[in-house]
Amino acid sequence: MTNQLLAAKAITAKALAYAPYSKFNVGAALLAEDGTVYTGCNIESAAFSPTCCAERTALVKAVSEGVRVFKAIAVTGGRDGGDYCYPCGVCRQMLYEFGGDNLQVIVAKSEEDFRIHPLSELLPYGFGAKDLEG
C-alpha cells in the first residue's frame, strides 16, 4: 500500500466524521502488518469527554477483530483544509501500544501533500509494556 493510497483512505474516512460541535473533521487509515487497512473518523459527543478520535476508532476496530501489529497510519483533518493534523497525545500513546517506535505516521493535507514521521519522533521515550517489566 502506497502512502498516497493510505492518505486517500484517510480522506475518505474524514467525510464520515461526526463533529457537529468543533467542526474539526478527522479521518484515519491504519495499515496492519498483513496489509489490511482499518479506517476511522472522529465521533464527538456533546459532553466532549466521551469523544473518540479517528485514530483510536480505527485502532479499536482493528484490535476488536484480533489484529495487534501495525505498520503505518495516515491522518488528515481540520476545518476546510488548513495545516497538517497530528494525533493527540492519547492517540499517540494508544498507537505506541500496538506500533511501537517505528510505526509510520503519515499526516496528510491531500494524497500528494503529506509528511511522514516515525512515532518515536512524535512520542519520544514512549511508555509501554517494557516499562512494566520487573
Please give the Cα distance from 37 to 33 (Å, whole number): 9
- Positions marked active-site: 55
Question: Are 6 and 37 spatial neighbours (Cβ–Cβ below 8 Å)?
Answer: yes
Q: For residue 25, report the phi and psi dihedrals to the nearest 5 degrees.
A: -80, 135
DSSP, res 22:
T
